[in-house]
Structure 1
Amino acid sequence: MWRDILKYGVIAGLVVGGAMVATFAATGGQMPHGGLGMAVGYATMLVAFSAVFVGIKHQRDVGGGGVIRFWPAFGMGLAISFIAALFYVAAWELVQATIVKDFAGSYAESVIAAQRAKGIDPAALAKLTAEMDAFKVQYANPMFRLPMTFSEIFPVGVLVSLVSALVLRNPRVLPARAG
């Protein structure tokens, strides 16, 4: 099981990390903030986490003789998700170091510009600017940034692991083919 966890975790990690690096490289580091950027990011995560489903199914069909209980399946999914999330964090650090030099500054500017466009009052704008300045300082600290980046992807992996374990505990769902 551990070999499968490592294999499918690395596959998921390479997909999500590689997609991140490729997307930022292709756009010159100008990934849009907000809805479109989040949609692209989370869609990529879901594609990568299909490795969780495949890994659990492989364990059920090959290692478990066609049967897997919920908790072992869920645990396997979480372990695959954890490995993929580590790749995601490493990829983001690589992107930050090479392509997107000042993410926090760019993000802060886009948030402030969006609120200005909505006609925010000066007092609220001053407060927002102070909050964004504090965010930039916090984001420069790896002890803040790394867990924050990890928490972007891991909950998606937990959800995919939960659904996969619930579905695949039933041996009649996508049964193994007789070879």
Structure 2
Amino acid sequence: MKQLACILLLTVLFACGSRRERDKQPPEQTALPMAEDSAVQTTGGNPPAVSTDEQQFRTFLGAFRSAADGSQDTLLRNMVHFPLIVDNTGEKVTKQQFAAYRDRIFNGDVKRLLPKPDSGEVRVVDPDQPTAYYKQLRAETDSGTAMYELHQPYVDPVDGRDAFYTFIFGKKNGEYKLMGYHSSRGVRK
């Protein structure tokens, strides 16, 4: 019996001692191993050092939406290429005239809708767009760059009629700018 008690006592002491040794060891790693850049994983190559035209435009559009609320007039003015071509007719608004026409371009509906990040349909303007208006806009942009259009249909809250506005953006001297604007209300009408 004494032998059995000694064996049990030794077994318990041995078990406690081996647990202490196990506790001294560092825990097993549970974190994921470091991975290469996801662009390398998905494309097999390094990401481009310079943003694409579309990325540059999307960044510009976000800033333009923010500035369009009317609180950042200087910033907004710097985002416009002058003369601004308006009304599908090729008429122009100069930098000096902009203050007089700003509220017709950035009217209450534009200020209400444009700042919403999901407002309007953004699309690339067909480089071969045959209308004189788009040809005139294309002639003002940097050669070989895309033009983008933000078209926003809406119901006029005053008279309930269908209405729209369209902003046309293009690159000028390497930077995106507002190049043209037309709407169901018109600017110079």
Normalized against structure 2, the TM-score is what? 0.23
Higher Cα Rg: structure 1 or 2? 2
Query: Which structure carries more relative contact order (alpha carbon 8 Å, separation 6+)?
Result: 1
Larger strand percent: 2
Larger helix percent: 1
